[in-house]
Amino acid sequence: MNLHSGTGANDSYPPLAPAEWTMEVNMNPAGYYVAAVSHAGQTKCRISLNMMFDNVEDAERALAIKARLWIAEFLERERAGPDRK
């Protein structure tokens, strides 16, 4: 799933991610959906929510919001550098 393209009503918040960021959603053995967030093909984090979803589309929308927030924070840390306070 591309985190830079619109998929629903909450597309403007958090901000859409740059095109090189992607998210792959899978269901774990316990029945929860988990997202692998990748940058240019390299997994940077895994995100999950402590709730069940009826379908993968609903899970993707909810996980995308959390992923976009994580990406924005990650990019801000990179911009700020090691001396960030």
Task: Give Rg (Cα) of the chain.
Answer: 13
Residue extents of the structural domains in the chain: 21-80
Q: How far apart are CA 85 and CA 66, in angstroms?
A: 23
Among residues 31, 25, 27, which one has the least CA distance to residue 65? 25
At 85 the pLDDT is 55
At 14 the pLDDT is 72
At 1 the pLDDT is 56
At 9 the pLDDT is 47
Torsion of CA 22, 39, 14, 48, to 10 degrees: 70
- With a cut of 50, list the residues of the chain below it in pLDDT: 9
